[in-house]
A and B are shown apart, each in its own frame.
Chain A
Amino acid sequence: MSPVQLASKRNRESQPTENGLPRSGRNPAGAFALRHRESARVLALVLLIAVGAAIRPGYLTEHSMVSVLLPAAPLAALATAEAFVMIRGKFVDLSVGVTASAAAVLAVSVSPHGTIPAVLAALAVGATIGLANGIGVGVFRGNPIIVTLGMSSVVGAITLAASGGSSSTLSPGMLNNFGTASLAGIPEVVLAVALILIVTAWWFAVSRWGRMMRLAGDSELGFRVSGGRPVAGTIVAFVLAGLFSAVAGILLASYVQTLDFTIAANDTLPAIAGAVIGGVSLFGGEGSPWRAGFGAVLFGFLTSVLLLAGLSPYQEEIVEGVLVVTIVYLTEKLLGR
């Protein structure tokens, strides 16, 4: 492509957008996808359930739906954690999985002293890790990938040392009752995540901090020039990510019988994938907590249908990796970025 062509392409791309969305005239398929992006995701979910039901008639029963939704609940919390950082802009937090594991291990070991101390301790450790990440990325301007990767190594090592490498069991109490109880057939864990997501999404939509994170993610330079404080937004985003990772850890601790110290360590990528599938942009400024949560549920159903289709867990991992790249490619391509 000649420099002139490149330049004209660039000019076209930098033309103003309508309502912050790419101009619809340029890419008809993209415009269609953009207009129907919400319904497309709901349709995908319905299709996945239909495929699952076609493969195994018992898929639509309450029992199997619960078995899909229960692991999807902590994943939704993790995807929400990731969403805050992604919306704030071009950041990603690779330590959410390890943070959730640390919070889960801590909650279990504090649980003999009561549920409330256990929950508070887990939330505190999550917020601390998030704060450390936020200061590293926001104040010291570290590369978020390298900082959070290093942080996950540190936290993983501390969790390993603290748990002695052995798995632990939650002592009976309120947390345990909560994890095993269900309301009208739906596990309370799932209901709790749904409630948290609704409240957070509402808060994120109307509050000053939510608006700040979205704007800073959309254009950091513009945000700074118009008098905003991007660093504060970064720190808040990472602290929220730490808190929601801790929530995922607490939920895991509440219903998993024997808790391994690496319980959620491999859930970071599924969390990112869930957020992206749900429509949180990797380039910042776009998305909301409920979208990330919905994406995680979609991802959970996808995994379960792949396993139903007769794939071994290893093969399923291969397909999952291919799907993540494909979905990110399609999302970014169709939305014209």
Chain B
Amino acid sequence: MTTVKRARAREYTRIAGLARTGRAAINARGYLILVTLYLIAGLLSSSMFQAGTIRAIAANGVPLVLVATGEAAVLLIGELDLSVGAVTALSGVFVIVLLNHDVAPTVAIGLAVSAGLAAGIVNGLCVALLRVSSFIVTLGTSLVFYGIALVGANGVQVPVSRFGPTTWLGTSFAQIFTPTVVIGLVVVTVVAVAVGSSPWGRQLYAIGGDRESAERWGLPVKTRVISVFALAGAMAALGGVLSALALGTGDPTVGSQTLLTAIAGAVIGGVGAKPGEGRIGSAACGALALVVLTFLLNEENVGASAQQAVVGVVVVAVGLGRLDPAVSRHLAAKRDALMKRHVPSHGPMPSAEDGGS
């Protein structure tokens, strides 16, 4: 009897270990892919480890990483925000128009980010209170936000007339930093820690894992959903502002590629395949990996449309990735085998995947 017990305990430990390894692999996926890709890039192009290159990649990547971080939080709770591209366009135009009207730079940036926050709250309200699927809501509001950006910009690109903030954001210090990079690092770290460790973040994981249970448990699901969409809106706006200031123009039609790449980055980082799983930091690294990939393709003189195709292929491939279902199926098979061996009358255990329709 004790041998059976001991064998069973060993098996359980093994299964728990497998589950842990599987989850750890997903949680670290973004970091691993980023490091691997960077090393490969370093082999292909010797300039990858120079301070200037690192700074350029980081500075170019900040807007996308910010957008991807916000999108990852939305994916985490099992929703989707297709309006983040439109929000980057809207906030980019807004900040440039404000600067051209002699508003102080900090106030202009603050207002533009608040506009994104408001846009995110509108999305969140529609999703949480009206219970319309987030995909339709954000597809609709992206039309609205693009429309507002176009009205604000009169349908054309708005060039900035004061270059103060642009220059300041681009000044480099300590070899690899610019103010843009520092802002990006700080904001992404704060969001990643908040989602990963704060009570608010744990509630997000609970909501993503099983919304109905979270509701019955008494979690404030609606306000959490609204807060996540607000976060995504604000992050997208910050990304749009930094990108518009770096380029010196507010373009009311940008963003569709940013949206796609941000979703791709988050999914590469292991967020979005299954709600309630994945880490924000890993998602941010996934997005940065795509920036590195783009940089590498530029170095190799691959054209813009080929780059777009490459990103698309990556998105499809990652969207197809069945790593997580494969892991959970493997675990379920192990568990069933174990139960059959030790509890002969027991049939296969019902698994969550067979539950609903």
The segment from B103-111, B303-311, B339-347 found at the interface with A is B303-311
Counting from the closest, the 9 A-B pairs by CB-CB distance are A150-B315, A153-B312, A321-B143, A318-B147, A154-B312, A146-B319, A317-B147, A157-B309, A221-B357
Q: A140-B320, A141-B325, A325-B136 are in contact. Are A157 and B305 (CB under 8 A)?
A: yes
Question: Total number of A-B contacts with CB less than 8 angstroms?
Answer: 140
Question: Which of A142, A276, A322 lies in contact with B316, CB distance below 8 A?
Answer: A142
Q: A150-B316, A220-B357 are in contact. Are A324 and B264 (CB under 8 A)?
A: no
Q: Is the Cβ of A325 less than 8 Å from the Cβ of B126?
A: yes
Interface of B is mostly: helix
CB distance from B269 to the nearest CB of A (A): 13
The segment from B23-31, B148-156, B162-170 found at the interface with A is B148-156
Q: Is the Cβ of A154 less than 8 Å from the Cβ of B316?
A: yes
1/0 contact string of B173-202 vs chain A (CB within 8 Å): 000000000000000000000000000000
Q: A150-B264, A153-B312 are in contact. Are A142 and B135 (CB under 8 A)?
A: no
Chain B interface size, as a band, is 35 or more
Contacts of A314 in B (CB 8 A): 147, 150-151, 155
Q: Is the Cβ of B140 less than 8 Å from the Cβ of A321?
A: yes
Is A258 in contact with chain B by the CB < 8 A criterion? no
Is A242 in contact with chain B by the CB < 8 A criterion? no
Q: What are 9 pairs between A and B in contact, CB < 8 Å?
A: A6-B215, A136-B316, A136-B320, A151-B316, A269-B143, A282-B133, A315-B151, A317-B147, A328-B133
Contacts of A320 in B (CB 8 A): 143, 147
Contacts of A155 in B (CB 8 A): 312
Q: Is the Cβ of B315 less than 8 Å from the Cβ of A153?
A: yes
Q: Is the Cβ of B147 less than 8 Å from the Cβ of A315?
A: yes
Contacts of B313 in A (CB 8 A): 150, 154
Contacts of A221 in B (CB 8 A): 356-357
CA of A145 to CA of B263, assembled, Å: 10
Question: Which of A6, A141, A161, A222 lies in contact with B305, CB distance below 8 A?
Answer: A161
CB distance from B97 to the nearest CB of A (A): 15
Q: Is the Cβ of A145 less than 8 Å from the Cβ of B80?
A: yes
Chain A interface size, as a band, is 35 or more
Q: Which of A272, A312, A324 has the most CB of B within 10 A?
A: A324
Instruction: For B126, give the chain A residue with the smallest CB separation.
Output: A325
Q: Is the Cβ of B144 less than 8 Å from the Cβ of A321?
A: yes
Contacts of A149 in B (CB 8 A): 260, 263, 315
Is A160 in contact with chain B by the CB < 8 A criterion? yes
Contacts of A269 in B (CB 8 A): 139-140, 143
Is B130 in contact with chain A by the CB < 8 A criterion? yes
Q: Which of A141, A157, A315 has the most CB of B within 10 A?
A: A157
Q: Is the Cβ of A150 less than 8 Å from the Cβ of B147?
A: no
CB distance from B64 to the nearest CB of A (A): 15
From 156 to 183 in chain A, residues with beta carbon under 8 angstroms from any chain B beta carbon are: 156-158, 160-161
Q: Is the Cβ of A324 less than 8 Å from the Cβ of B315?
A: no
Is A219 in contact with chain B by the CB < 8 A criterion? yes
Is A332 in contact with chain B by the CB < 8 A criterion? yes
Is B88 in contact with chain A by the CB < 8 A criterion? no
CA of A84 to CA of B335, assembled, Å: 39
Q: Is the Cβ of A318 less than 8 Å from the Cβ of B135?
A: no
CA of A116 to CA of B322, assembled, Å: 41
Is A257 in contact with chain B by the CB < 8 A criterion? no
Is A108 in contact with chain B by the CB < 8 A criterion? no
1/0 contact string of B262-285 vs chain A (CB within 8 Å): 011001000011000000000000
Is A234 in contact with chain B by the CB < 8 A criterion? no
Is A143 in contact with chain B by the CB < 8 A criterion? yes
From 38 to 85 in chain A, residues with beta carbon under 8 angstroms from any chain B beta carbon are: none
Q: Is the Cβ of A92 less than 8 Å from the Cβ of B135?
A: yes
Q: A150-B312, A157-B309, A157-B312 are in contact. Are A321 and B151 (CB under 8 A)?
A: no
